[in-house]
C-alpha cells in the first residue's frame, strides 16, 4: 500500500473514529478523576469486619459503645466511640469528650510510646526499656527508704476511689509516705457537707422525681455529674413541667433554660439559700423533721439575725421579694430539692456553701424522699482494703481522716521545705502542671523536685517537667473503673476493659505501680498481692459476679434511689443543724461556726487591689480540669471563643467594658495575684457586671499536638486557689483580677 495523502487521511479519520468508539477516553477521564484525588497523603482507611463493644468513659461516666474494624493489614482498630443505648443512665447519648476519645488514642504526635528519660539541661527525651525504668524508680525509692526519707515521697493521683487510686493509696502507705493527694473534687465537699448534717457521706439529688429544683450555681446542663445522664433525665423531667430556678451571676445555658433566673453577685449563691431558709423558718414553712432536729432553734435565730431577706438582698443583689417568692414556692412544692456544686472550672466548692444548701434541703424535709436528697445504696464492692497508717507528719499538716489531702498545700509546704522538702514526686494520672490546683505553683513544685516520675498517656505539661515519663493508657486500651457520678441519686459502677492492644509499650497506672511494687518487694509487694489490675478488679468486683461478664456489660447501675427513712449517723442520731461532726473536725464550736453559714469568699475579701472577679465558663465543649482537649472539641468551641487566631477570648459585660474603655475585640491582659494571661474581649450581655468569664481547657504549652499547642491562655494559670476554711480543699471558683489594655 502506498502511503499517499488519501491513505493518511483515511488512517487519521479511522483513528479518530476508533478512539471515540473505544472506551479509552471515558476510561482515561474516569481514571484521571480518581488519580488526581488518590494521593498517598490522603488516608485510605482499610475496610474489614465490623464489631461493637460496650465500655464506659471514666472521665464523663458515660456508657459508650465502640465500633471496631478488623482489617487484614491494620488489625483491630477503633473507629468510633458512640453512645450505648442499653446504658440505663446515658441511654445512647454522648458528650464531645466521649465522641472524640479516639483522637487521643491514635495520635503518634502526642502519645508516649515508651518510657522516656528527660535530660534536665536540654529537655530532650531518651527512650529506655520498662525494665530500666523500673530499676531507676525502684532504686530511687529504695535509696530514700534506706536513708529514712520514705515519707518525703509525694504522690499525686486523679481519682481516689478508682482501682488505680486504691492501688496508689496502698502503695504509698506500704512504702511509708503519708503525702498522697488526689485531684480535688466537688464529690469530697458534698460528702463532707452531708456528713456534717446527716452523718451520711454518699448522697445524691433525685432531680428526676422533683417538681421544683433550685440550683445554686450548679451547671446542671454544662457538666454536672455524668453530663449525659443528667441531660437525659432533664428532658424527661421538663416534659412533666418541672420548675427550675437557677441562682448564679452569669446567664449560662442552665440559666437560659431555667424558668426563673436569679442573678446574684459572685459568690453569694449560698447566701440566697440561707435567705430562703430564713423565710421558711420565720414563716413556719419548715418541715416537722427539721424543727425537731438538733440545733434548730439556734439555726433559726441565726437565720433571723444574719440572713433575713432584706439583708441577703443587699449583699447578693437578688431582690428580697424574689427570695421570699422562691422560698415559698420551694416550701409548698410537694417535691422540691436544692442543688449545689460543682463550681465552674472543676472547682470543688466551699463546704460552708454546700452545707447551706443541704440545710435548705433539711428544712424542706426531703431527705430520703422521692424528689429529694437520697442516700446512695452501697455498691457492695469489695474494696482493696484500708491502706495502712503512716506514722509520719504529712506535708500539709493534715491527718488521716475526713479531710482529704490538699495537693496545693502539699506542694507549697514542700517548696518551702516546711516541715521538709520532697525527695521524689510520683504523678500517677492527671496533669497538675496544667490544671493545678494553681498551675503555677504545681509547675514550680515539679520543676524544683529532685526526681519526678509521671505516668501519662500523653506528652503533656506534667510530662514536660518529669525526669522519667512512663507511658500510660487511655480507657479504650486498659482496665479501669469509675464510681457513681457527682450528684447522681443512684449508685453506679462503670468498668472499662482493654478493647484494643495498648499503644506501643503503654501500661495502666495500676499495672505500672504493681510492677514497681514487685520490684521493691517487702511490705509494698505484700500490700499489693495482685499480678495485674485485672486481678485486683476481679477481687473488688467479686460480689457483683464474674468480671468478664461484668466487663462485657460494662456497668452496674442501681435501678432506683433508696427511698425510705433517712438513716442519720450523727452523734445525736438526728439531722443536725448545729453540726457536732463539723465542730469536731474544725475544732470550732462557738459563734455559729458549726452552723450552716455564709462566708465572704476569700478571693473577694482580700481583693489585692484587683477590681474584677474572674470565674470560669462551664461548658461541655471545652475540657475541664486535667482532661485533655481533643482537636474536635477545640473545633466546636463557640464562635466567640474561636474568634481570634491563637488568642484567648474572655466575656465581659458591655457596661463594665464601657466603663473601662474596652470594646469588642479589645486586647487586654488579665492579671491576678498569681499569674496573668493575654486575652481579647467579647462583650457578652449575659455576663454579670464587674466580672470576667474565662473559658477553660485552652492554653496548652507543652503538648506537641499542633492543634491545641499555644491556643489561647490557661485559666488555671490565673485562677488563684485558696484553701477552704472548713474543708481544707483548694477552691478556685472566684479570683480577683485586674484587666489592663495592651497593644
Partner 1 sequence: MSANKGEHRFGMVIDLDKCTGCGACSVACMSENNIGTLLDETDKIRSITWLRVYQIDNGKAFPDTQIAFIPRPCQHCEGSHGHHTPCVSVCPATATDYDETTGIVSQIPTRCIGCRYCVGACPYHARYFNWFDVPWPKGAERGLSPFVSPRMRGVVEKCTFCYHRYQRAKNKAFLEGGSVGEKDYQTACTEACPSGAITFGDLNNPKHKVHELAKNPLAFRLLERLGTNTKVYYVSQRDWVQRKLDNYLAGEKLPVKAAS
Q: How many residues bind partner 1 (CB under 8 A)?
A: 86
Closer residue to partner 1, CB minimum distance, 213 or 687: 687
Q: Contact with partner 1 (CB under 8 A): which of 68, 142, 544, 636?
A: 636
By CB under 8 A, which span of 96-104, 346-354, 394-402, 445-453 interacts with partner 1?
96-104
Distance of CA 391 to the CA centre of its chain: 32
Beta carbon of residue 504, minimum distance to partner 1 (angstroms, whole number): 10
Q: Contact with partner 1 (CB under 8 A): which of 90, 169, 198, 735?
A: 90
Cβ within 8 Å of residue 165, ≥6 positions away: 157, 158, 159, 182, 429
| CB contact at 8 A, 261 and 251 | yes
Closer residue to partner 1, CB minimum distance, 67 or 149: 67
Q: Contact with partner 1 (CB under 8 A): which of 125, 224, 234, 475?
A: 234
Q: Does 701 bind partner 1 (CB under 8 A)?
A: no
Q: Does 260 bind partner 1 (CB under 8 A)?
A: no
Side-chain-side CA neighbours of 713 within 13 Å: the count stands at 22
Beta carbon of residue 686, minimum distance to partner 1 (angstroms, whole number): 4
Q: Does 45 bind partner 1 (CB under 8 A)?
A: yes
Q: Contact with partner 1 (CB under 8 A): which of 66, 94, 133, 739?
A: 94
Closer residue to partner 1, CB minimum distance, 327 or 634: 634
By CB under 8 A, which span of 143-151, 404-412, 543-551, 638-646 interacts with partner 1?
638-646
What sections of 51-182 are H helices per DSSP?
A: 96-99, 102-105, 130-146, 163-175
Q: Does 488 bind partner 1 (CB under 8 A)?
A: no
Residue 491 CA to residue 570 CA, distance in Å, equals 22
Which of 219, 242, 457, 418 lies closest to 330, judged by CA? 242
Longest dimension (CA), the chain: 126
Q: Does 616 bind partner 1 (CB under 8 A)?
A: no
Beta carbon of residue 743, minimum distance to partner 1 (angstroms, whole number): 18
Going residue by residue from 20 to 39, which x/- string records binding to partner 1, judged by CB under 8 A? -------------xx--x-x
Side-chain-side CA neighbours of 444 within 13 Å: the count stands at 16
Residue 445 CA to residue 406 CA, distance in Å, equals 14
Beta carbon of residue 658, minimum distance to partner 1 (angstroms, whole number): 12
Full DSSP string of 579-635: -HHHHHHHS--STTTTS------HHHHH-TT--EEEEEEP-SSS--TTPPPPHHHHH
Closer residue to partner 1, CB minimum distance, 48 or 393: 48
Residues within window 107-136 making contact with partner 1, judged by CB under 8 A: 107-111
Q: Does 47 bind partner 1 (CB under 8 A)?
A: yes
Q: Does 356 bind partner 1 (CB under 8 A)?
A: no
Q: Does 499 bind partner 1 (CB under 8 A)?
A: no
Closer residue to partner 1, CB minimum distance, 315 or 584: 315
Closer residue to partner 1, CB minimum distance, 56 or 303: 56
Beta carbon of residue 80, minimum distance to partner 1 (angstroms, whole number): 6
Q: Does 88 bind partner 1 (CB under 8 A)?
A: no
Q: Contact with partner 1 (CB under 8 A): which of 210, 303, 313, 634?
A: 634
Phi-psi region of 380 (alpha: psi -120 to 50; beta: other; left: phi over 0): left
Q: Does 73 bind partner 1 (CB under 8 A)?
A: no
Q: Does 705 bind partner 1 (CB under 8 A)?
A: yes
Beta carbon of residue 253, minimum distance to partner 1 (angstroms, whole number): 5
Beta carbon of residue 440, minimum distance to partner 1 (angstroms, whole number): 27
Beta carbon of residue 193, minimum distance to partner 1 (angstroms, whole number): 27
CA distances from 27 to 23, 39, 159, 439, 707 (A): 6, 19, 60, 61, 40
Which of 701, 690, 601, 608 lies closest to 651, judged by CA? 690
Distance of CA 596 to the CA centre of its chain: 27
Beta carbon of residue 231, minimum distance to partner 1 (angstroms, whole number): 4
Distance of CA 31 to the CA centre of its chain: 51
Closer residue to partner 1, CB minimum distance, 261 or 732: 261
Q: Contact with partner 1 (CB under 8 A): which of 158, 159, 202, 222?
A: 222
Does the bond joining 342 to the residue before it have cis omega, within 30 degrees of 0? yes
Q: Does 507 bind partner 1 (CB under 8 A)?
A: no
Strands (E), 356-398: 373-375
Q: Contact with partner 1 (CB under 8 A): which of 621, 682, 700, 717?
A: 621
Which of 711, 612, 605 lies closest to 656, judged by CA? 612
Residues within window 283-322 making contact with partner 1, judged by CB under 8 A: none
Residue 371 CA to residue 212 CA, distance in Å, equals 9
Q: Contact with partner 1 (CB under 8 A): which of 125, 237, 261, 715?
A: 261
Q: Which residues of 83-109 are buried (b: 16+ CB within 10 A; e: fewer)?
A: bbeebebbbbbbbbbbbbbbbbbebee
Q: Contact with partner 1 (CB under 8 A): which of 141, 276, 414, 620?
A: 620
Closer residue to partner 1, CB minimum distance, 355 or 649: 649
What sections of 52-199 are H helices per DSSP?
A: 96-99, 102-105, 130-146, 163-175, 186-198
Residues within window 556-585 making contact with partner 1, judged by CB under 8 A: none
Residue 312 CA to residue 243 CA, distance in Å, equals 23
Closer residue to partner 1, CB minimum distance, 515 or 687: 687
Helix (H) or strand (E) holding 56: strand 49-57
Residues within window 641-700 making contact with partner 1, judged by CB under 8 A: 642-646, 653-655, 684-689
Amino acid at each position: 500500500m502506498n502511503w499517499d495523502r488519501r491513505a493518511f487521511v483515511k488512517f487519521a479519520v479511522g483513528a479518530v473514529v476508533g478512539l471515540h468508539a473505544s472506551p479509552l477516553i471515558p476510561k482515561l477521564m474516569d481514571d484521571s478523576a480518581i488519580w488526581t484525588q488518590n494521593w498517598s497523603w490522603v488516608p485510605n482507611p482499610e475496610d474489614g469486619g465490623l464489631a461493637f463493644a460496650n465500655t464506659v468513659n471514666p472521665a464523663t461516666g458515660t456508657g459508650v459503645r465502640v465500633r471496631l474494624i478488623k482489617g487484614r493489614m491494620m488489625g483491630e482498630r477503633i473507629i468510633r466511640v458512640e453512645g450505648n443505648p442499653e446504658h440505663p443512665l446515658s441511654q445512647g447519648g454522648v458528650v464531645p469528650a466521649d465522641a472524640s476519645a479516639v483522637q487521643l488514642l491514635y495520635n503518634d504526635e502526642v502519645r508516649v510510646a515508651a518510657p522516656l528519660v528527660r535530660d534536665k539541661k536540654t529537655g530532650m527525651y531518651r527512650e529506655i526499656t520498662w525494665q530500666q525504668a523500673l530499676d531507676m524508680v525502684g532504686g530511687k525509692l529504695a535509696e530514700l527508704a534506706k536513708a529514712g526519707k520514705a515519707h518525703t515521697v509525694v504522690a499525686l493521683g486523679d481519682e481516689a476511689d478508682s482501682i488505680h487510686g486504691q492501688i496508689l493509696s496502698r502503695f504509698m502507705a506500704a512504702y511509708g509516705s503519708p503525702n498522697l493527694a488526689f485531684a480535688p473534687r466537688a464529690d469530697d465537699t458534698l460528702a463532707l457537707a452531708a456528713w456534717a448534717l446527716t452523718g451520711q457521706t454518699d448522697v445524691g439529688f433525685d432531680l428526676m422525681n422533683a417538681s421544683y429544683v433550685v440550683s445554686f450555681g450548679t451547671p446542671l446542663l454544662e457538666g454536672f455529674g455524668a453530663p449525659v445522664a443528667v441531660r437525659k433525665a432533664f428532658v424527661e423531667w421538663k416534659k412533666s413541667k418541672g420548675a427550675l430556678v437557677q441562682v448564679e451571676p452569669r446567664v449560662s445555658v442552665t440559666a437560659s433554660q431555667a424558668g426563673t433566673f436569679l442573678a446574684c453577685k459572685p459568690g453569694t449563691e449560698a447566701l440566697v439559700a440561707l435567705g430562703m431558709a430564713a423565710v421558711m423558718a420565720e414563716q413556719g414553712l419548715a418541715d416537722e423533721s427539721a424543727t425537731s432536729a438538733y440545733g434548730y432553734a439556734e439555726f433559726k435565730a441565726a437565720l433571723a439575725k444574719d440572713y433575713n431577706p432584706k439583708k441577703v438582698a443587699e449583699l447578693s443583689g437578688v431582690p428580697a421579694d424574689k427570695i421570699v417568692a422562691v422560698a415559698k414556692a420551694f416550701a409548698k412544692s410537694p417535691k422540691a430539692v436544692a442543688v449545689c456544686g460543682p463550681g465552674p472550672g472543676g472547682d470543688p466548692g466551699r463546704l460552708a456553701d454546700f452545707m447551706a444548701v443541704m440545710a435548705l434541703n433539711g428544712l424542706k424535709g426531703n431527705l430520703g424522699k422521692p424528689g429529694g436528697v437520697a442516700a446512695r445504696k452501697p455498691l457492695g464492692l469489695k474494696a482493696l482494703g484500708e491502706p495502712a497508717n503512716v506514722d509520719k507528719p504529712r506535708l500539709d499538716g493534715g491527718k488521716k481522716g475526713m479531710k482529704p489531702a490538699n495537693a496545693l498545700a502539699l506542694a507549697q509546704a514542700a517548696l518551702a521545705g516546711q516541715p521538709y522538702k520532697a525527695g521524689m514526686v510520683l504523678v500517677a494520672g492527671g496533669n497538675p502542671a496544667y490544671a493545678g490546683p494553681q498551675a503555677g505553683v504545681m509547675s514550680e513544685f515539679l520543676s524544683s523536685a529532685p526526681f519526678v516520675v509521671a505516668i501519662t498517656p500523653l506528652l503533656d505539661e506534667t510530662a514536660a517537667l518529669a525526669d522519667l515519663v512512663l507511658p500510660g493508657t487511655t480507657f479504650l486500651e486498659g482496665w479501669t473503673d469509675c464510681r457513681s457520678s457527682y450528684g447522681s441519686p443512684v449508685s453506679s459502677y462503670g468498668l472499662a476493659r482493654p478493647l484494643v492492644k495498648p499503644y506501643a509499650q503503654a501500661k495502666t497506672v495500676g499495672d505500672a505501680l504493681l510492677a514497681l511494687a514487685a520490684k521493691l518487694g517487702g511490705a509494698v509487694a505484700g500490700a499489693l498481692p495482685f499480678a495485674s489490675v485485672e486481678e485486683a478488679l476481679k477481687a473488688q468486683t467479686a460480689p457483683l459476679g464474674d468480671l468478664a461478664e461484668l466487663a462485657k456489660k460494662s456497668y452496674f447501675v442501681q435501678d432506683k434511689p433508696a427511698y425510705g427513712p433517712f438513716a442519720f449517723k450523727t452523734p445525736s442520731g438526728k439531722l443536725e443543724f448545729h453540726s457536732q461532726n463539723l465542730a469536731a473536725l474544725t475544732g470550732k464550736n462557738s459563734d455559729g461556726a458549726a452552723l450552716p453559714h455564709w462566708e465572704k469568699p476569700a478571693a473577694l475579701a482580700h481583693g489585692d487591689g484587683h477590681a474584677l472577679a474572674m470565674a470560669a465558663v462551664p461548658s461541655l465543649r471545652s475540657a475541664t480540669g486535667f482532661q485533655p482537649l481533643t482537636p474536635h472539641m477545640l473545633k466546636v468551641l463557640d464562635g466567640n471563643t474561636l474568634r481570634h487566631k491563637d488568642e484567648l477570648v474572655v466575656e465581659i459585660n458591655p457596661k463594665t467594658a464601657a466603663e473601662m474603655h474596652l470594646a469588642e475585640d479589645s486586647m487586654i491582659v488579665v492579671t491576678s495575684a498569681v499569674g496573668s494571661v493575654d486575652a481579647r474581649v467579647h462583650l457578652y450581655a449575659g455576663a454579670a457586671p464587674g466580672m470576667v468569664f474565662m473559658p477553660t481547657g485552652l492554653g496548652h504549652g507543652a503538648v506537641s499536638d499542633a492543634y491545641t499547642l499555644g491556643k489561647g491562655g490557661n485559666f488555671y494559670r490565673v485562677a488563684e486557689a485558696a484553701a477552704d476554711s472548713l474543708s481544707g480543699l483548694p477552691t478556685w471558683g472566684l479570683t480577683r483580677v485586674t484587666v489592663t489594655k495592651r497593644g
